[in-house]
Amino acid sequence: MTRQALNRYSLLVVGLLLLSTPIWAQPANPQRGEALYVGTVSFAEGGAPCLACHGIAGHELGYAAGANYGPDLTAIYEDYGEEGVAGVLEDLSFESMNAIFAERPLSDSERADLVAFFGAVSGGAAPGIGSDLVLHVALVTAVFMVLIGALGWRRLQGVRKPLVEQARNTKGGRA
Ligand code: HEC
């Protein structure tokens, strides 16, 4: 191989490497993080999807009011910050999760995608089921009372009218 050819060859190799850069240096992707979280994309090592145990009420995932096995993670990013969440995901040292993830650790990119996803959903307002329920009950009660009122009044009229007429006809009962 001549020197020139070698130079050209190495240029080609460098060029190809540069072109392929995005494949191995992908920025954290919150959509992929969500897919991993809910389980539509599997973790490379086969760990269980987080949604199996954790809801994110602020993103309408999981059961209402955090009725899940693990704590709701809506505010995890706010509470721990980016570094904090990344740290928790790195060692997943909670007893209940360790059983799964000690043998099936998350990869660097999986962790980064999850952190990006938590960042994207952070600050999502958890639906206030409490206040909605109160409003609902108040509305239904109001409608019910109006109905009872209207029906009750008509019923009263229905009873009263013939009595009044009867009383009139019979001059108050003294025929
Ligand atoms: C088998 C059920 C289970 C799975 C699957 C699971 N977790 Fe957990 N996780 C828990 C439980 C339960 C806790 C509460 C701590 C404890 O009791 O060990 C917890 C705690 C946490 C905490 C700390 C919460 C806090 O408020 O301090 C984070 C963050 C977390 N999990 C993230 C994840 C992520 C991300 C995944 C998916 C990669 C995941 N978990 C998968 C059960 C699970």
Spatial CB neighbours of 80, under 8 Å, sequence gap ≥ 6: 87, 88
Q: Consecutive sets of 10 residues in the chain, 175 residues long: mean pLDDT of each?
A: 74 64 70 96 96 90 76 92 91 84 92 95 61 64 77 73 82 59
Residue 16: its pLDDT value, please?
Answer: 62
Probe target for ligand 1 pocket from 36, 37, 43, 53, with the most ligand atoms within 8 Å of CB: 53
C-alpha of 140 from chain center: 28
70 alpha carbon to ligand 1 midpoint, in Å? Answer: 5
Residue 157: its pLDDT value, please?
Answer: 72
Distances (CA, A) of 140 to 54, 151, 154: 33, 16, 21
131 alpha carbon to ligand 1 midpoint, in Å? Answer: 28
Q: What is the distance between the alpha carbons of residues 87 and 117, in angstroms, rounded to a whole number?
A: 15
97 alpha carbon to ligand 1 midpoint, in Å? Answer: 6
Residue 40: its pLDDT value, please?
Answer: 97
**Minimum-distance ligand 1 atom for the alpha carbon of 48:** 5
Asked whether 25 and 31 are in contact (CB, 8 A), the reply is no
74 alpha carbon to ligand 1 midpoint, in Å? Answer: 12
Report which of 41, 37, 79, 80 is spatially closest to residue 56, judged by C-alpha positions. Answer: 37
Report which of 152, 73, 153 is spatially closest to residue 118, judged by C-alpha positions. Answer: 73
Q: Is 114 in the pocket of ligand 1 (CB under 6 A)?
A: yes
Q: Is 115 in the pocket of ligand 1 (CB under 6 A)?
A: no
**Minimum-distance ligand 1 atom for the alpha carbon of 89:** 35
